[in-house]
Every structure is written in C-alpha cells, then in structure tokens.
Amino acid sequence: MPKPPATLAPLVAIIGGGPAGLLAAQRLAEAGLRVQVYEQKATVGRKFLVAGHGGFNLTNGEDTASFVRHYGAAAPFFAQALAHFSPADLRQWATDLGIGTFVGTSGRVFPDAQHKPADLLRAWLRRLHDLGVELKTRHRWLGFAGERGLRLQNEVTNEEFELAPAATLLALGGASWPQTGSDGHWTQLLAAIGVPCQPFAPSNCGAEVAWSAFFKEKVGRAPLKNIALSCGGHTVRGEVLLTDYGLEGTPVYALTPQLRAALATGAPAWLHLNLKPDLGAADMQRRLARRRAGDSLASFLGSAFNLKSPVPTLLREVNAPADLGAALTALPIPVAGLRSLAEAISSAGGVPFTEVDENLMLRRRPGTFVAGEMLDWEAPTGGYLLQGCFSTGAWAAEAMSKHPYAATS
C-alpha cells in the first residue's frame, strides 16, 4: 500500500465527499499529493448510502459500446472516461477494499451478499485514512479567493478562513436528494466568476398521471411486470409500479429525458405501454380471435393473456383504444408532469461541458476541476450513475496530479 504523502507534498483540495470526490482523493493521495476533503455534512458518502437503499448498483456488466450510449449527448466524453476507469476497474477497486461483487441477471453489478453499502464505505474510509487523506466535515464552501484560493467556513465554530491549494476539485453533486447535501447552492458561486450553469431538472423520477379518485382507491399501488414502455422513439423493458400519483420504476426513470422534452412543449407527454412485449403479432391475433360474445374483459384477459388485476381497470381508466390488440401493445398514458427535483434519484443540468476543457478543468479558472453530478450529464439507474461519478472523479484526479500548479507548488 502507498505510504501517506510527505508533509511538504503539494496540497490539493476536494470540495464534496461523494463518490466522485472520494475516488479522486484516493487517486491523488496514491499519486503522492497531500489531500484535504471538505464536506458540509457531518459525514461523507451520504448520497452514496441512500442510493444503496433501493438496491446498490455499483456499475453494470453491459458491453462498452452499449454502456456509453446511456450517457446521451455526453457519450463522447464518457467513452474516454470509461476507458480510463472502466466498470471492470470499479469492480477491481471494490475487490481491493475487500468487497466482492457479482453481476445480477439484469446485468447490474452488486456487492456480494456478505456486504452492505455501509461496509464498502467503511472499508473505503479506512483506505483513505491509511493514505493520509484528511476528511474535514461540517465545512461549507463559500466561494473563491484570488487566483487559486478558496473561502470556507467551519460550521461548528462559524470560523471563516481561506485556503490556497495547488489545485481544487469541485464535486458537490447535483440538486436531487438535497437532504444528503447535494442542494445545488454552488451554482451561485460559479456564476460569480462567470460560469453559467444549465438549470437543474429532475431525472430518474416518477411520472405524474391524473388518475381518477376511483382508480386510486381501487388500484392503489400495483406492479406491472415484464412490460415495455415507450416515449419519443425510445423503448425500455422492465417493471413499473402504479402509484397514487402516476407511475414509477426503472423504465419510467430511463425515459425522463424524453418526457421532459415532450412536457417542455406545454402539452401532456405520452407514454405507450406494451403489456405483452414478448408476444408476436401473429400469436396476438390468434389469442384475440378466441374471444366470444359474453366474455367479460377481465375474464378474457386473464384466460388468453394471463393479464389480471389491475390491467382491466387500467384499460378503462385511460379510455383504451377499441382495438384490444392496440390497447395491449401500445396503451397511451397521458403524463401531466414529473415528480419534484427533491424526490428525483438524480438531476440533469449543472456545469456545461463547454465550460471545462478535456481534463474537466474550468476554462475560466485554471487549476479548478469539476467532477460527478455537478457536470451537465444524466444516465439511467442500473449502475450507470455511480459509474459516471467514479469515472469523472478518476479522470479529473489524473489531470490534477499532472497539473503544473500541483507539480510546482
């Protein structure tokens, strides 16, 4: 294991104790730099742990070409970042901490059954301690000072002070789950030096549907398994959950960029639900032909398609097309809006890639780098979000370790 850096080693500062910031801290300390991490909350890794509550997807076992496509417009950058710190590298990193991983049937990568997210974080913090990384919690970043300095506040003592590191990494997260510390307040601090940020918007969140009171009372919360959901020319397979406010689940989350774009026109957006995505057209028609006069919709759907409650109620609720085949394969569901940013798993918006160079350094402030969800990118759940944060942290750390400020300080 590398030894802690010497006292006279260049000091680099990291603002934000999430996965991007902590991995950068590890990489920089391993490169021999002295690292201080400033986190406004009482503990680091809060959003990292919250993400683990619903199934801790570290990364995904998908092939590289398919993996990169999940980053949308930011895919060209992520092709480089993932080559630098790949899903395989992330799994090896966890193994080096004593945490094994496995690939689930969906392709998602999880810690082994013996370990929880908190176990991984504890092992990680021990490694950072051994490397000499200084974690300074309850410290808020107040802005920049001079050419390379930072203004900070110790929120325990209320003391304000300035720090002049050789290089700085900003990794404060986006604006979802603000209770974990990612509240987006930093956009004002960047605006003060002329860095414009794209407005934050909810990503990976539920879709709101104006269900009737009858539907809410009769259906409540009910899953629809093995379905396909489409919007804006994109289709995602999986399971959705009908809720009192609308729909949630992996396919809904993955389609939030398309839903946002459709809603931006001022009209309702439409999701199209395929309840039998594995059924071919010919087989569909053969089954539909079995219906006899007098068969109720519920009994026919159950016997011919194994579709039971709440499907019949759902078809009636949205005034399904008279063509039952069309209703079962492309049921139109009007979406009135998306859930709030505070409820979203992640956020779109932040620092545009045009404001950073190829090393993720701010063009308007040499020596200051940005990583993680502060950057304007989004990806679906399933391991792509965490991988993106880790990869951008590793990418920025590599550039910081070679930056002239750190090399000559």
Same domain, 351 and 325: no
What per-residue confidence (pLDDT) applies to 279?
A: 95
Same domain, 140 and 124: yes
Same domain, 149 and 21: yes
pLDDT reading at 35 higher than 70 = yes
Listed residues 307, 338, 369: the one ending a domain: 338
Strand runs (DSSP E) across 258-400, as ranges? 269-274, 331-335, 337-338, 346-350, 368-370
Is 5 contained in some domain? no
Domain that holds residue 318: 207-338
What per-residue confidence (pLDDT) applies to 49?
A: 85
What per-residue confidence (pLDDT) applies to 4?
A: 60
Coil, strand, or helix at residue 311? helix
What per-residue confidence (pLDDT) applies to 53?
A: 61
Same domain, 184 and 235: no
Total domains present in the chain:
2
Q: Considering only 74-83, 130-139, 176-185, 208-217, which range has the smallest mean pLDDT? A: 176-185
Is 242 contained in some domain? yes
Is 54 contained in some domain? yes
> Do 99 and 120 meet the contact criterion of CB atoms below 8 Å apart?
yes
Same domain, 121 and 266: no
Listed residues 294, 321, 338: the one ending a domain: 338
pLDDT tens string 396-409: 999 999 987 666 55
User: How confident is residue 6, by pLDDT bands cut at 50, 70 and 90?
Assistant: low
CATH number, domain at 84?
Answer: 3.50.50.60
Helix (H) or strand (E) holding 307: none
Torsion of CA 53, 54, 60, 61, to 10 degrees: 110
pLDDT tens string 347-370: 999 999 999 999 999 999 999 999
Is 2 contained in some domain? no
Is 1 contained in some domain? no
Is 6 contained in some domain? no
pLDDT reading at 52 higher than 60 = no
Same domain, 34 and 118: yes
pLDDT tens string 53-63: 666 889 999 99
Same domain, 93 and 189: yes
Amino acid identity of residue 190, one-letter, is: L
Is 233 contained in some domain? yes
pLDDT tens string 94-125: 999 999 999 998 899 999 988 888 999 999 99
Same domain, 350 and 327: no
Same domain, 93 and 139: yes
Distance from C-alpha of 5 to C-alpha of 132, rounded to nearest angstrom: 7
User: How confident is residue 388, by pLDDT bands cut at 50, 70 and 90?
Assistant: very high
Alpha carbon 64 to chain centroid, angstroms: 18
Give pTM, 2 decimals. Answer: 0.92
> Do 397 and 23 meet the contact criterion of CB atoms below 8 Å apart?
yes
pLDDT tens string 324-349: 999 999 999 999 999 999 999 999 99
Same domain, 291 and 395: no
pLDDT reading at 240 higher than 90 = yes
